[in-house]
């Protein structure tokens, strides 16, 4: 989620050296098929899940989904990271990738045919690698920076928007075309951009000199070089399939906010949903959220009358709400390919089975953890 600009950067603690135009990679990229065979799996229940055992001296974390039955797991010892595919129902493991540098993030493409790995290769350098489902490296690019923020174009999965940060919060943004194996300076230099079309991206026009909790939300067209305002006030924004979801803080004293749902490239406002924001580091921040475009369901955390948070699902067609899980722990949410389960918790170490509202631990920690 793209949260408030100053707060987000304080949490990142980014350090970087002066960025420059990266060189093109020499590797040959084979364009993957856009069509991935439908995942036909036998219906499983939460009781069938086999938690992953923790190894002594190794930090284990779940990074996301590989397919409906398999999660991507990292085991880190020192600087070495072992990326594995772990089947939740038969306990099998398969090496997907190994790195002598720490892996900081793994993303799955919308169609599930590609996987993006971010690594911290040195104190002042990071790189990205694009892998296919077999774990073959299709593209690799290093950046002179400690930290990167990457946005993946869900309409054209060959395009990425990358922002390189320096320690003083200055930044430089690039457009990456992995099919052409080229990296370009973005014509508009803004951080935390989100693709909302094949050739358009949205961004919040933060004033870096101010600690304002909101700013205008704009959309930029790469083809025409023009931009327009989508909303006069936004605190966060996120691309979610064919929707652009923007969060706005309406009452700064009470922390009451609203989510605005804009339909894809038409940018038509289709729904407004009022929710409480969370208090973080003396500022109000929108709760984490995800959207299932197949079921038209928006999932987020809602503060109950008891002061605890419930995970709720909201039908974006009629606005109907239902509680999925009571007393849930707010944090990152990652939806499974079928939309039947959500990864959550610290290190995504839990799975929420949506139809039953069951919370299942995915990592069995040792007693000394």
Per-residue pLDDT of the chain (369 residues; tens, 9 = 90+): 444 444 433 333 333 333 444 444 444 444 554 455 555 556 788 999 999 988 888 999 999 999 999 999 999 998 899 999 999 999 999 999 999 999 999 999 989 999 999 998 887 889 999 999 999 999 999 998 878 899 999 889 999 999 999 877 789 999 999 999 999 999 999 999 999 889 999 999 988 776 677 899 999 999 999 999 998 889 899 988 778 899 998 888 888 889 999 887 678 888 888 888 887 777 888 899 999 989 999 999 988 878 889 999 999 888 899 999 999 999 999 999 999 999 998 889 999 999 999 999 999 876 655
The reported pTM is 0.85
Rg of the chain on CA atoms, in Å: 20
Contacts of 13 (CB under 8 A, 6+ apart): none
Q: Which helix (H) or strand (E) holds 6?
A: helix 5-12
- Beta partners for residue 246, in sequence order: 237, 260
Residue 98, phi-psi category: left (phi > 0), alpha (psi -120 to 50), beta (remainder)? beta
Distance from the first to the final alpha carbon of the chain: 29
- Domains defined along the chain, listed by start: 199-287+289-330 (2.130.10.10)
- Going edge to edge, which strands form the sheet with 236-240? 236-240, 243-251, 256-263, 268-276
SS (H, E, C) 27-68: CCCCCCCCCCCCCCCCCCCHHHCCCEECCCCCEEEEEEECCC
């Amino acid at each position: 989620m793209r949260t408030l600009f100053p707060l987000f950067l304080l949490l990142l603690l980014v350090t970087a050296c002066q960025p420059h135009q990266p060189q093109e990679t020499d590797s040959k990229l084979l364009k993957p098929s856009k069509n991935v065979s439908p995942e036909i799996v036998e219906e499983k229940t939460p009781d069938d899940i086999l938690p992953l055992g923790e190894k002594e001296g190794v930090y284990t974390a779940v990074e996301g989904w590989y397919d409906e039955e398999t999660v991507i797991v990292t085991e880190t010892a020192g600087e070495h990271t072992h990326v594995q595919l772990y089947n939740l129902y038969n306990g099998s493991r398969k090496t997907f990738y190994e790195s002598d540098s720490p892996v900081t993030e793994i993303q799955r493409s919308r169609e599930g045919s590609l996987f993006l790995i971010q690594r911290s290769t040195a104190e002042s350098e990071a790189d990205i690698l694009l892998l296919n489902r077999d774990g073959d490296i299709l593209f690799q690019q290093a950046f002179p920076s400690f930290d990167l923020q990457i946005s993946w174009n869900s309409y054209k999965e060959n395009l990425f928007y990358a922002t390189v940060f320096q320690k003083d919060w200055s930044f430089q943004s690039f457009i990456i075309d992995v099919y052409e194996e080229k990296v370009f300076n973005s014509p508009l230099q803004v951080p935390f951009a989100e693709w909302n079309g094949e050739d358009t991206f949205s961004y919040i026009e933060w004033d870096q000199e101010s600690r304002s909790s909101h700013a205008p939300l704009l959309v930029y067209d790469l083809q025409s070089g023009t931009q327009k305002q989508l909303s006069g006030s936004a605190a966060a924004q996120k691309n979610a399939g064919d929707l652009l979801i923007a969060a706005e803080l309406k009452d700064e004293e009470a922390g009451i906010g609203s989510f605005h749902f804009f339909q894809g490239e038409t940018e038509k406002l289709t729904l407004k949903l009022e929710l409480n924001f969370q208090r973080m580091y003396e500022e109000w921040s929108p709760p984490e959220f995800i959207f299932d475009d197949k079921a038209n369901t928006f999932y987020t955390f809602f503060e109950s009358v008891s002061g605890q948070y419930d995970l709720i699902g909201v039908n974006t067609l009629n606005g109907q709400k239902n509680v999925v899980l009571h007393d849930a722990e707010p944090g990152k949410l990652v939806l499974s390919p079928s939309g039947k389960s959500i990864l959550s918790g610290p290190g995504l170490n839990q799975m929420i089975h949506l139809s039953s509202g069951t919370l299942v631990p995915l990592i069995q920690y040792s007693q000394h953890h």
